[in-house]
Homo-oligomer: A and B are copies of this chain.
Amino acid sequence: MAQREIPYKIYLEESEMPRNWYNVRADMTKKPAPLLDPDTCKPITAEALGKVFCEELVKQELDDTNRYIPIPEEILNFYKMYRPAPLVRAYCLEKKLGTPAHIYYKFEGNNTSGSHKLNSAIAQAYYAKEQGLVGVTTETGAGQWGTALSMACSYFGLDCKVFMVKSSYELKPFRREVMRTYGASVTPSPSDTTRVGRQILEEFPGTTGSLGCAISEAVEAATERDGYRYVLGSVLSQVMLHQSVIGMETKAALDKYGVKADVIIGCAGGGSNLGGLIAPFMGEKLRGEADYHFIAVEPESCPSLSRGKYVYDYCDTGRVCPLAKMYTLGSGFIPAATHAGGLRYHGMSSTLSELYDEGLMEARTVKQTEVFAAAEYFARIEGILPAPESSHAIKVAMDEAIKCKETGEEKVIVFGLTGTGYFDMMSYEKFHDGKMIDYVPTDEEIAQGLSKIPNIEG
- Please list the residues of chain A having a beta carbon within 8 angstroms of any beta carbon in chain B: 7-9, 11, 13-14, 77, 80-82, 88, 91-92, 110-112, 114, 151, 154-155, 173-174, 177-178, 180-183, 376, 379-385, 420, 422-423, 425-426, 428-429, 432
New contact pairs (6) apart from A151-B380, A180-B429, CB-CB < 8 Å: A8-B14, A8-B81, A9-B14, A77-B91, A110-B110, A181-B379
Contact B429 A380, beta carbon cutoff 8 Å: no
CB distance from A224 to the nearest CB of B (A): 28
With A81-B383, A380-B154 in contact, do A177 and B9 touch (Cβ < 8 Å)?
no
The 8 Å CB contact of A177, one of B183, B383, B432, is B432
Residues of B within 8 A of A183 (CB): 380
Q: Which residue of B lies closest to A423 (CB)?
A: B422
Considering the chains assembled together, what is the distance between the CA atoms of A12 and B310 in angstroms?
48
Contact A425 B182, beta carbon cutoff 8 Å: no
Considering the chains assembled together, what is the distance between the CA atoms of A380 and B147 in angstroms?
12
Contact A178 B81, beta carbon cutoff 8 Å: no
CB distance from A162 to the nearest CB of B (A): 16
Q: How many copies make up the complex?
A: 2
CB distance from A56 to the nearest CB of B (A): 23
Main secondary structure of the interface of A (DSSP, over half): helix
Q: Which residue of B lies closest to A422 (CB)?
A: B422
Residues of B within 8 A of A88 (CB): 81
The 8 Å CB contact of A383, one of B9, B151, B376, B422, is B151
The 8 Å CB contact of A7, one of B14, B155, B177, B381, is B14
The 8 Å CB contact of A181, one of B77, B182, B376, is B376
Contact A385 B80, beta carbon cutoff 8 Å: no
Considering the chains assembled together, what is the distance between the CA atoms of A383 and B114 in angstroms?
11
Considering the chains assembled together, what is the distance between the CA atoms of A77 and B77 in angstroms?
32
Residues of B within 8 A of A180 (CB): 428-429, 432
CB distance from A362 to the nearest CB of B (A): 30
Contact A9 B80, beta carbon cutoff 8 Å: yes
CB distance from A346 to the nearest CB of B (A): 30
Contact A432 B11, beta carbon cutoff 8 Å: no
With A80-B8, A154-B380 in contact, do A181 and B14 touch (Cβ < 8 Å)?
no
CB-CB nearest 4 A-B residue pairs: A174-B425, A8-B80, A177-B425, A422-B422
Contact B9 A380, beta carbon cutoff 8 Å: no
Contact B177 A428, beta carbon cutoff 8 Å: yes
Residues of B within 8 A of A11 (CB): 11
Residues of B within 8 A of A81 (CB): 8-9, 88, 92, 382-383
Residues of B within 8 A of A110 (CB): 110
CB distance from A429 to the nearest CB of B (A): 5
Residues of B within 8 A of A381 (CB): 155
CB distance from A54 to the nearest CB of B (A): 22
Considering the chains assembled together, what is the distance between the CA atoms of A428 and B179 in angstroms?
11
Considering the chains assembled together, what is the distance between the CA atoms of A382 and B154 in angstroms?
11
Centre residue among A111, A183, A380 by max chain B CB count within 10 A:
A380
Residues of B within 8 A of A178 (CB): 385, 422, 425, 428
Considering the chains assembled together, what is the distance between the CA atoms of A385 and B154 in angstroms?
13
Q: Which residue of B lies closest to A429 (CB)?
A: B177
Considering the chains assembled together, what is the distance between the CA atoms of A182 and B384 in angstroms?
11
Considering the chains assembled together, what is the distance between the CA atoms of A11 and B14 in angstroms?
10
Q: Which residue of B lies closest to A81 (CB)?
A: B383
CB distance from A99 to the nearest CB of B (A): 18
Residues of B within 8 A of A384 (CB): 111-112
Residues of B within 8 A of A385 (CB): 112, 178, 181
